């Protein structure tokens, strides 16, 4: 993995990459929601993207040859409700298991997978009941243990039980993120979803920007090629496959403002 040094608001290398991307005839601009467009909050239901980011996304989505996508672990309906996406935006929910408009691959659970998901939810429910402050979230193809609201010792114990228990069951695909353990019964990822998005909205002449902050976003970074004209941006600290980095959602808003200005200038020519 690449290691990064001190983070500036918009590093020079990132600005250069954005200028090059903005000049392409067709681009796909994809973003995670939580920790990227929206600051992380204790209650996920309270998360909202920064108003300046929403305004810039709406501007970008209205420009020729510019596709905007939101790629989130949240269920699709929740993503649509919270994110205020611009008209025509491509929405990917549940790490790629849901999409609007539908992509070529949409995971539909068979009877065995539905039964397994029921078992996973029941077991995580028992873990939540024994660990105050934790929370269970149900998704169409996964169950999620949230530990942000628990004390650190309780959160660690709940996470350990989930990883040593249902995460190891045959057919379960675990993802350990920021204060969450997601246990899916399909192997879809943000990376596979981004490949489908590129095929649907990213012509060969274009490039892709992806901005993410969590472990699940690394799989999206992994399918892109910075040397080939794509731009990968990690938000926040930690090792990452992304070539560029910004500090927080406020810096992402500045990135979006710059990209909207650059792209608008190119479209006006």
SS3 1: coil
CA 167, 124, 236, 5 torsion-angle sign? negative
Handedness of CA 136, 142, 147, 148 (dihedral sign): negative
Catalytic site positions: 32
Strands, sheet with 142-146, edge to edge from the N-terminal-most edge strand: 135-139, 142-146, 180-184, 173-177
Q: Which residues pair with 180 in a beta bridge?
A: 146, 177
CA proximity to 84, closest of 62, 58, 45 = 58
Which residue(s) pair with 184 in the sheet? 142, 173
User: What is the radius of gyration, based on Cα positions, of the chain?
Assistant: 19
Beta bridge partners of 102: none
DSSP lists the bridge partners of residue 144 as 137, 182
Residues forming beta bridges with residue 210, ordered by sequence position: 30, 232
């Amino acid at each position: 993995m690449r290691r990064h040094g001190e983070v500036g608001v918009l590093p020079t290398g990132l600005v250069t990459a954005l200028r090059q991307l903005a000049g392409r005839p067709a681009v796909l601009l994809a973003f995670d929601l939580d920790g990227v467009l929206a600051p992380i909050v204790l209650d996920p239901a309270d998360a909202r993207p920064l108003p300046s980011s929403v305004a810039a996304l709406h501007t970008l989505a209205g420009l020729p040859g510019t596709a905007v996508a939101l790629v989130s672990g949240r269920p699709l309906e929740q993503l649509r409700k919270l994110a205020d996406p611009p008209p025509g935006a491509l929405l990917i929910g549940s790490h790629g298991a849901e999409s609007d408009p539908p992509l070529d691959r949409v995971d539909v659970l068979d009877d065995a997978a539905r039964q397994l998901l029921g078992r996973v939810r029941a077991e995580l429910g028992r873990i939540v009941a024994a660990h105050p402050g934790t929370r269970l979230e149900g998704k169409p193809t996964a169950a999620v243990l949230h530990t942000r609201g628990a004390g650190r010792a309780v959160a660690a114990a709940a996470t350990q039980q989930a990883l040593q228990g249902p995460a190891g069951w045959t057919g379960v695909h675990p993802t350990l993120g920021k204060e969450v353990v997601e246990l899916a019964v399909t192997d879809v990822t943000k990376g596979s979803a981004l490949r489908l998005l590129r095929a649907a909205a990213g012509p060969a002449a274009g490039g892709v920007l992806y901005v993410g902050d969590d472990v699940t976003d690394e799989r999206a970074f992994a399918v892109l090629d910075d040397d080939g004209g794509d731009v990968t941006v990690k938000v926040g600290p930690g090792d990452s496959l992304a070539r560029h980095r910004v500090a927080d959602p406020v810096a992402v808003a500045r990135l979006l403002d710059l990209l909207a200005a650059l792209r608008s200038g190119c479209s006006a020519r």
